[in-house]
Structure 1
Amino acid sequence: MRFENIDEIDRQILQYLSANGRLSHAELGRLVGLTRAAVRERVSRLLENGIISHFTIVVNPLKAGKSLSLYFNIDVTWERMDAIAAELLACEEITNVYQMSGRPHLHVHALFDDQDHVERYLQRLRKIEGIVSVESEFLMARYKERGALLI
């Protein structure tokens, strides 16, 4: 993917950091042909400009004990949209919440320990005022997944 507001060196730095966020400035410098100080300046500028929002890790949910990944389409009333989204965000099972276009609904991703955990969570959803209906789907296979935009 190409962006107008970054040059080729910045794009390379972002690509290397996306693959391994633990690379030192010296290692990045060797990879892109710059000094450690020059790379540090570029990474600092990318952070200041908000192009890099933060550094993080990616946890493999299966290895961490979360064997079920589900997606929910949750139909809600317009007036309760924000309150329901806030309530979902407070749940430890929820990883992502999106308001979608069209009818008032939220697209939600969640991770669960097992089928019993899913059932207990669905019972909690039934008690939230303003939820009209819930559709859920189990994730069967991951072919491509990005935690953030890769350059």
Structure 2
Amino acid sequence: MELDQTDKKIVELLIEDGRMSYTEIGKVLQLSRVAVRARVHQLMDAGVIEKFTCVVNSEKTGKHVSAFFEVDCAPANLVEVAESLANNPVVASCYQMTGPSTLHMHVLVSDFTQLESFINEELYALEGITRVESHILLRRFKSRTGLKL
């Protein structure tokens, strides 16, 4: 689907506020509510908009430690390790990266005791991991949940 300027503006408005009504979007873009609704549904049907969600401040929910990991795996174990990690409730995101067989993941936990437990009892317990590098988040300067068009 080729996005025109109106589609791009609709997506940008929804990235800023996913609860914005079709009427409110229509006022900004000088379109009818029905026209906006039709375009949003087209964007959803085309897979441009995958889903609507809310962004939760992890610290406000007791997750005070945010850590990023680079996990190298034996190629034969990559998918199994990735699926296991992706199903772990403390793993916020998990991606396969370029490199030998590298996963990048973001983990949110309540404290360093829980982080240590995750590393020692869950991460290192997985067969096929050859190297783990971790980075603890000190301060967030920017976090974007949607694609900037």
1:102 aligns to what?
A: 99
Q: Note the residue ranges of structure 2 that are not aligned, 5 or more in a row.
A: none
Q: Note the residue ranges of structure 1 that are not aligned, 5 or more in a row.
A: none
Name the CA distance, whole Å, in 2 between partners of 1:93 and 1:115.
13
2:10 corresponds, among 8, 13, 16, to 13
> Post-superposition shift, 1:30?
0.6
> Post-superposition shift, 1:108?
0.8
Number of equivalent positions: 148
Cα deviation, 1:16-74, whole Å, max 9, x if unaligned, reads 11110111111111111001111111111111111111111111111111001000111
1:135 aligns to what?
A: 133
Name the CA distance, whole Å, in 2 between partners of 1:139 and 1:105.
20
Structure 1 segments of 4+ aligned residues over 3 angstroms from their partners: none
Name the CA distance, whole Å, in 2 between partners of 1:65 and 1:119.
17
Corresponding position: 1:126 with 2:124: yes
Name the CA distance, whole Å, in 1 between partners of 2:20 and 2:124.
46
Name the CA distance, whole Å, in 1 between partners of 2:76 and 2:146.
30
Cα deviation, 1:70-111, whole Å, max 9, x if unaligned, reads 001111100000000010011000011111112222111110
Alignment RMSD, CA only? Answer: 1.2
Indicate the SS of the match to 1:16: helix
Amino-acid identity (%):
36
Cα deviation, 1:96-133, whole Å, max 9, x if unaligned, reads 11111122221111101000000100112111111112
Normalising to structure 2: TM-score of the pair?
0.95
Indicate the SS of the match to 1:140: coil
| Correspondence 1:2-151 to 2 at 5 A | 5-123=2-120, 124-151=122-149
> Post-superposition shift, 1:14?
0.9
Name the CA distance, whole Å, in 1 between partners of 2:10 and 2:101.
40
Normalising to structure 1: TM-score of the pair?
0.94
